[in-house]
Amino acid sequence: MSQIAIIDYGMGNLRSVYQALEHVSDDTTTITVTADKQTILDADRIVFPGQGAARDCMRELKNHDLLEIIPQVAKEKPFLGICMGMQVLMERSAENDGINCLGIYRGSVNNFAQVHAQREDQRERLKIPQMGWNQINQCTDHPLWHDIENNTRFYFVHSYYVQPKDSSLCTGMTDYGLDYASAIAQDTIFAIQAHPEKSSDDGLQLLKNFTQWDGA
């Protein structure tokens, strides 16, 4: 049997993530939504979803006593971060006048509104938050891209984007006035800004790939 733990810290679209994972998993997989540290430690794979503001996310992680366990399990077993669950892997977010995050990776989370678009002709028609479908350019190979065509469209809802110091972390890039890292990966960690649970068949394929990924 394989156990997937979806981390529940009071934020995130947990029901949709659970249902999507349940849909793509086989009969040997058990999926649990939990904030219990031992259950998370015992799981074979970890999903770290999230939505909302960075400040609220970090506060709730602290309230649920999960600030230390997330970096630990992320380095030990297959780990999928989704949306805010990707952003707080960085050192610091510009949201809410600046919030320290988990610091698993060096880098920042920046506001689309505070950067100049690379293409002048798009500046006026880009809306914040980015809400809707956009392409992800798979800039490196990864097991979670298996059977997903390059430049496939995924569903996004966000006003901030990740900028890692180490560009080799980027496994997916998206153009929204500027090219930003919409997916990062290293060792046992894969994190994506888009919502695979809301991204139709290709999102389900990514989640299916995760249920079969050994972290290598």
DSSP notation for the chain = -EEEEEE-SS-S-HHHHHHHHHHH--TTEEEEEE--HHHHHH-SEEEE---S-HHHHHHHHHHTT-TTHHHHHHTTS-EEEETHHHHTTSSEE-GGG-EE---SSSEEEEEGGGS--SSGGGTTT--SSEEEEEEEEE-S--GGGTT--TTEEEEEEESEEEEES-GGGEEEEEESSSEEEEEEEETTEEEESS-GGGSHHHHHHHHHHHHH----
State how far Cα 183 lies from the chain centre: 7
Q: What is the pLDDT of residue 123?
A: 52
Q: What is the pLDDT of residue 115?
A: 66
Q: What is the pLDDT of residue 117?
A: 47
Active-site pick, 57, 60, 95, 197: 197
Q: What is the pLDDT of residue 96?
A: 85
**Cα separation of 20 and 142, whole Å?**
21
Which domains, ranges and CATH numbers included, belong to the chain? 2-212 (3.40.50.880)
Strands 92-93 vs 107-111: parallel, antiparallel or unpaired:
parallel
Q: What is the pLDDT of residue 125?
A: 64
Q: What is the pLDDT of residue 51?
A: 84
pLDDT digits (tens, 9 = 90+) for 75-104: 999 999 999 999 999 999 998 889 999 999
pTM of the model: 0.94
First CA to last CA distance, the chain: 19
Active-site pick, 57, 83, 101, 170: 83
Q: Are 125 and 117 in contact (CB under 8 A)?
A: no
Active-site pick, 57, 101, 158, 195: 195
Q: What is the pLDDT of residue 113?
A: 82
197 is catalytic: yes
Strands 160-164 vs 152-158: parallel, antiparallel or unpaired:
unpaired
Residue-by-residue pLDDT tens, the chain, 216 positions: 899 999 999 887 799 999 999 999 999 999 999 999 999 999 999 999 988 899 999 999 999 999 999 999 999 999 999 999 999 999 999 988 899 999 999 999 999 887 654 455 555 567 889 999 999 999 999 999 999 999 999 999 999 999 999 999 999 999 998 899 999 999 999 999 999 999 999 999 999 999 999 998
Could you tell me which of 87, 18, 97 has the C-alpha nearest to residue 58? 87
Which position has the token pair 């030990």? 76
195 is catalytic: yes
